[in-house]
């Protein structure tokens, strides 16, 4: 998708910005940006299982240090 975005941007510059190409370039940029933001949010947030595992490990460490 990023490759298509680059090609549309170059075509926009080379062909003196025809409206359909410029509009496709803008629509592609919105789609690409939205996809990248969604991907970053999805990869950054740990899942529920990871959170539960981390909490259980922390509690186990606390209990082992008490003994």
Joined together, the tokens standing for residue 45 give 């947030």
Q: Where are the domains of the chain?
A: 2-66
Q: What was the pLDDT predicted at 53?
A: 92
Rg over alpha carbons for the chain, rounded to the nearest Å, is 23
Polymer length of the chain: 67
* Dist CA 53 CA 27 (whole Å): 41
pTM: 0.53
Where is pLDDT greater, at 56 or 45? 56
What phi, psi does 46 have (nearest 5°)? -70, 150
pLDDT bin (cut points 50, 70, 90) of residue 67 is: low
Instruction: Read off the pLDDT of each residue in 25-43 and give the average, rounded to a whole number.
Output: 92
* Dist CA 50 CA 19 (whole Å): 48
């Amino acid at each position: 998708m990023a490759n298509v975005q680059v090609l549309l941007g170059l075509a926009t510059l080379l062909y003196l910005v025809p409206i359909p190409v410029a509009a496709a370039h803008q629509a592609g940029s919105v789609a690409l940006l939205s996809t990248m933001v969604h991907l970053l949010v999805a990869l950054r947030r740990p899942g529920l299982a990871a959170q539960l595992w981390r909490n259980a490990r922390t509690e186990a460490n606390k209990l082992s240090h008490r003994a």
